């Protein structure tokens, strides 16, 4: 039985601009056929094991001919697969969706066309240019600029198009900008008509070049301005000076690699997006309940005597989360800690406890184990018992210092951190092309595992591959690990919090942007 093909518009580049339906289709797909204008971050939304096939075209070569792409969709569907053909922008705007759909219909394969946000309107919007305006442009035309010059003269009626609408949008016409300008001037547009070219609009590489029909070709050559770009012609371009918004955001122009576990990355990803940056999620770790029966037995025993503890030190959000998971499995109640004082390392850990109705002891200024010890060492008594929930990679420092004070320390190994992540060809491309501008590390394990995974993916010297990228660490322990691994740490959060790390990223971008 044949599968089904969804011809999906991915939007202009910003991964968040895909439609809800497009995202639903992507998550159902057994195979994703995509081109270079679709944000590679969207591929991470595909389900585990989905086949990902790149068929994109580059300016100097074609990875796959259109006829072969059409046949590929048929072949995949005839294997019974649910297929998503992921196209940049909207599939019906110069996306050749008609050719693909026609062949699918000939083979009796069901399909749907899922519209996307076209780059023709969204890319100018991200440059601060509304393509229509009540006072200056009440209409627009969308025109291909990608064809050979002779074909352009056949497909475009210059005498009609030039004056047809207030705004003219040319798609993919950078190489023909001189000819396009000459034709528009020859057919009645003023040489002083404003023109804007927006390259890689809505992405970290977004770049805008503004001129007039008279001088834009010279400016393109001088700047070595390359495709892909949207060309906007008309008075609407002048609105940019007043309405420019994306390019002034604190993290605009920066693509930031987020390495922390997917379950914890959402806050950081959202903050980066909200500040105009482009996060690239590549979780290198995940946490899970230990599989070892002996460890589980020891943990059960530690948590079965909650009434005996005078103190509980939570050193991470994971420790809080897994503590309550284990309590539920054991059928235990938090009321067993009725006499214990509960302390937390850092505001995130304290917040995780507060969400469960537990207000932790006043936080130390240093959001590390050292800070907790400094704050409470004077109140610990030799006869007291301390519960220390943690993961398999936790430092032994706190346990050792507590033991030196003579208190009885019971450890509960609640979770283990392991390497994760599928091989990511797109990440390797970005690293090779200089497309990753900063990497964030939120724990020592993210440092170790990123380097290990890059080696697994074929980088013989990952430290060298990352040598030109800014390295941002959440705290001194993580920074020390990165430096010992050979990385050059260029940003260190003033406090060991995500907010503080984001502040450092913003300050860096403010210093370096031109």
Per-residue pLDDT of 27-48, as tens digits, reads: 999 999 998 878 888 988 999 8
Between CA 220 and CA 55, with CA 252 as vertex, the angle to 5 degrees is: 65
Query: Rounded to the nearest 10 degrees, what angle do helices 66-78 and 97-106 cross at?
Result: 40
Known active-site residue 176: no
pLDDT at position 148 is 58
Strand order in the sheet with 470-473: 278-281, 255-258, 438-441, 470-473, 491-492
List 172, 254, 401, 424, catalytic entry: 172
Which positions ≥6 away from 175 have C-beta within 8 Å? 227
List 52, 57, 244, 480, catalytic entry: 57
Q: How far apart are CA 477 and CA 222, in angstroms?
A: 47
pLDDT at position 147 is 60
Known active-site residue 172: yes
pLDDT at position 370 is 75
Known active-site residue 57: yes
pLDDT at position 153 is 64
For the domain made up of 4-117, the CATH class stated in words is: alpha beta
pLDDT at position 62 is 58
Whether the pLDDT of residue 367 is over 70: the answer is no
495 band by pLDDT with thresholds 50, 70 and 90: confident
Per-residue pLDDT, averaged over 127-137, amounts to 93
373 band by pLDDT with thresholds 50, 70 and 90: confident
pTM of the model: 0.85
Q: Within 13 Å of residue 367, how many CA atoms lie on the same side as its CB?
A: 19
Whether the pLDDT of residue 190 is over 90: the answer is yes
**Across all residues in the chain, what is the average pLDDT?**
91
List 4, 14, 30, 35, catalytic entry: 35
pLDDT at position 95 is 85
Is 255-284+420-512 in the same CATH topology as 121-248? no
First to last CA, the chain: 56
146 band by pLDDT with thresholds 50, 70 and 90: low
Q: How far apart are CA 123 and CA 202, in angstroms?
A: 6
pLDDT 10s digits, 218-256: 999 999 999 999 999 999 999 999 999 999 999 999 999
For the domain made up of 121-248, the CATH class stated in words is: alpha beta
pLDDT at position 406 is 87
| Of residues 344, 371, 345, the one with CA closest to residue 360 | 344
The domain spans of the chain are: 4-117, 121-248, 255-284+420-512, 289-419
Structure token digits, residue 3: 């599968």
Query: Tokens 């627009």 map to which residue?
Result: 140
For the domain made up of 289-419, the CATH class stated in words is: alpha beta
pLDDT at position 203 is 95
Q: How far apart are CA 407 and CA 404, in angstroms?
A: 8
CATH number of 255-284+420-512: 3.40.50.10090
- Please provide the DSSP assignment of 137-167 as one string: BS-EEEEE--S-HHHHHHH--HHHHTTTSSE
């Amino acid at each position: 039985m044949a599968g089904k093909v969804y011809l999906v518009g991915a939007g202009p580049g910003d991964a968040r601009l895909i439609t809800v339906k497009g995202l639903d289709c992507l998550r159902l797909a057994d195979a994703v056929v995509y081109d270079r204008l679709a944000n590679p971050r969207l591929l991470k939304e595909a389900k585990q094991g989905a086949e990902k096939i790149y068929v994109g075209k580059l300016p100097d070569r074609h990875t796959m001919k259109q006829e072969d792409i059409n046949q590929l969709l048929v072949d995949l569907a005839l294997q019974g697969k649910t297929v998503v053909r992921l196209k940049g922008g909207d599939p019906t705007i110069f996306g050749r969706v008609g050719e693909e759909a026609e062949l699918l219909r000939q083979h009796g394969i069901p399909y749907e066309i899922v519209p996307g946000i076209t780059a023709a309107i969204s890319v100018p919007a991200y440059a601060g240019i509304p393509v229509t305006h009540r006072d200056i442009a009440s209409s627009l035309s969308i025109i291909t600029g990608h064809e050979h010059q002779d074909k352009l003269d056949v497909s475009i009626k210059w005498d009609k198009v030039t004056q047809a609408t207030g705004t003219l949008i040319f798609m993919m016409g950078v190489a023909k900008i001189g000819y396009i300008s000459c034709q528009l001037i020859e057919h009645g547009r003023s040489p002083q008509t404003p023109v804007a070219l927006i390259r890689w609009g809505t992405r970290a590489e977004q770049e805008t070049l503004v001129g007039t029909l008279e001088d834009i070709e010279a400016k393109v050559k001088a700047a070595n301005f390359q495709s892909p770009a949207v060309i906007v012609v008309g008075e609407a371009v002048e609105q940019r000076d007043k309405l420019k918004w994306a390019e002034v955001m604190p993290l605009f122009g920066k693509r930031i690699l987020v390495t922390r576990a997917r379950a914890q990355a959402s806050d950081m990803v959202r903050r980066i997006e909200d500040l105009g940056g482009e996060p690239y999620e590549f979780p290198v770790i995940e946490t899970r309940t230990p599989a070892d029966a002996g460890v589980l037995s020891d943990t059960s025993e530690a948590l079965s005597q909650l009434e005996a503890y005078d103190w509980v030190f939570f050193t991470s959000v994971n420790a809080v989360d897994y503590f309550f998971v284990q309590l539920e499995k054991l059928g235990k109640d938090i009321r067993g800690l009725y006499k214990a004082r509960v302390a937390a390392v850092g505001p995130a850990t304290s917040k995780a406890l507060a969400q469960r109705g537990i207000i932790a002891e006043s936080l130390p200024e240093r959001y590390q184990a050292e800070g907790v010890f400094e704050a409470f060492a004077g109140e610990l008594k030799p006869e007291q018992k301390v519960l220390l929930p943690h993961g398999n990679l936790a430092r032994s420092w706190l346990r050792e210092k507590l033991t030196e004070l003579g208190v009885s320390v019971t450890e509960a190994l609640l979770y283990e951190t392991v390497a994760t992540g599928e091989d990511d060809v797109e990440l390797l491309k970005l690293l090779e092309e200089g497309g990753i501008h900063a990497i964030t590390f939120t724990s020592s394990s993210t440092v170790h595992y990123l380097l290990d995974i890059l080696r697994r993916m074929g980088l013989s010297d990952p430290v060298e591959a990352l040598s030109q990228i800014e390295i941002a660490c959440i705290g001194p322990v993580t920074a020390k690990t990165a430096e010992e691994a050979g990385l050059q740490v260029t940003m260190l959060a003033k406090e060991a919090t995500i907010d503080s790390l984001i502040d450092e990223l913003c300050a860096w971008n403010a210093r370096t942007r031109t």
